[in-house]
Amino acid sequence: MRNAPPHAAAEVELVVPFHDLDPLAVVWHGNYARYFEHARTALLQGIDYDVPQMRASGYSWPVIELTVRYARPLTYQQRIRVRAELIEWENRMKIRYEIRDAANGERLTRGHTVQAAVELASGRMCFVSPPVLRDRLGLSCA
């Protein structure tokens, strides 16, 4: 598989809020998906293919797989950087994530999501990404 275009990545900085903590005073595992979502949204906005543009193009892109690998816990008021990088796009969107400590750069978490195109009119999943995604990535349809 070819590498994704260099502009198909984004990074956001977040501060862990109190309400994301579990009773052990670390971020509850389910909140990591939301942190990934912040970076994924920035990535999709960067290629002008966020949710409104998806709908306008006639497709939705539901997440069909989520994997998270926890290396170190996140804590209250910790500043983190969340990076999202599109690594597959031909048959699906696979986005790789890394969460790092903003102060020292230590990797804390990594993961990925897989999203498949679904044609809104029929509700059918596409087994090849629609041409609109390649267009947004600046790739020819050849």
Nearest to 58 by CA among 127, 8, 136, 130: 130
In the predicted model, what is the mean pLDDT of the chain? 94
Using pLDDT thresholds of 50, 70 and 90, give the confidence band for residue 70: very high
Beta bridge partners of 65: 114
Per-residue pLDDT of 128-138, as tens digits, reads 999 999 999 98
Mean pLDDT of 61-89: 97
Tell me the C-alpha distance between 47 and 49, whole Å.
6
pLDDT score of 139 = 87
Mean pLDDT of 41-68: 97
Tell me the C-alpha distance between 109 and 101, whole Å.
10
